[in-house]
Structure 1
């Protein structure tokens, strides 16, 4: 088939590669170059860089306006494919490909419709998640589902680790679905179950409430890692928590209290303490928690809030 592929971040790269290996990708739509790093250098999206490596034509657009639709119409695509593009596909572009558009979404629809399904699944403490390939419709993530896969969420898995795994597993699911559409054997079924939404996370979502039970604090920490990045306040400044672990049979600590026990650095919550592994004080690099505590001006009496 002649396929138009729309995607932007690195998690869309496995899907682009899988689809391009089986079909003719006539255009890759991705968001415009964005300033990155301290020097704010304009940098192509990961998908743009991969498309260039594969020798595929690229259309850079943050919004799919009339001029983009006209360019796509000239290509006469059979199918449009979306994987984390970061923008809406509206009419008349939505109906332009002969078979419409399909979207690879990283959740078990209709649970966690929206921009951050993996993060919300981890934060909520879901035991299972997956990926779904569905027919794109105007309503957000509401189309009929062609195929899905399921996988457990590991007890220590971060959202970043989970998303990386789903990106690879989902790419194979997407490629198989495009093959089925090409030969006319694909069948889509309506979504069933409770609808939950997964809006994009803000920095406020990444602040840990250390008065909550340890399992909820740990779930949020994992769910916002690596982005936006878990933090608490220390002396009024943002103190990042890059990695932590659950503890077993440790005496409780007051919520937010930091204490060294042997070689470990423990952080109090509303129930059991967590073990801090990697932290980043304001204005400093990420470091092992034990190194940070040894170098703290007052290693006793430290409290995060």
Structure 2
């Protein structure tokens, strides 16, 4: 069984990703990270809060040393809309709860402020982590979530890997390219050479995913099912280099390095976005790019690729 989020579950969120994380909860697309327009955590689901908990997380100098879990018993009607069995529960993380057990929530309701959790990399923006558990399964364990799909189309954005730095963070830069084809209206993501929108941390996390593929008729139009993926075993290439192969619900990255102006960086963040500020995010804590610098990215095979774990 999988849970398919309807379009209204993403109201108030500007970006989303199922694979851009090293944590087991995201393995094989079993969770989705939803990036809000503001610093408030919105509910993507309808139901009744069962409980809230405060949990420990990795100690990071740039983040809080505790996180929060909100468990929601989903309404039967919401379950039917999403293909979930009656009794399915939702797990929401990275929000300081301003709701309590017994409170009813609907999509778009304010749950509380987001928090910068120690589970985040320093380059990761505040977001709402959402996963689901089957009826009777523990909602408190870190693993065991159901596969998640998202019922919105994601447009592929062809890109040659070049751009100019428009923002510098402590461990990343944002580029002015690629530009969103229709900001505010549709979700879009950087496309592989095959025209498939890509998801995940290339290649600093072990695996990624694809938001869509060409339809079976072969006319190049996106499928009606935005969660469709490359056929099992099909390769994905970027800028002429094979970067991974379809495996299960995601992509197993090949051993590759991302280069920026010819030198290795940690990687490239891949996600679906609909905001006008969309541009490539390059994870590069050891590089001193400045605003206004021209950057050209490439991907090359590697004997020792960077792989970030959960430690």
Larger strand fraction of residues: 2
Work out whether the TM-score is over 0.5.
no
Which has the larger share of helix? Answer: 1
Largest Rg, 1 or 2: 1
Q: TM-score, normalised by structure 1?
A: 0.27
Query: What TM-score, normalized by structure 2, do the two folds share?
Result: 0.26
Highest RCO, 1 vs 2 (Cα 8 Å, sep ≥ 6): 2
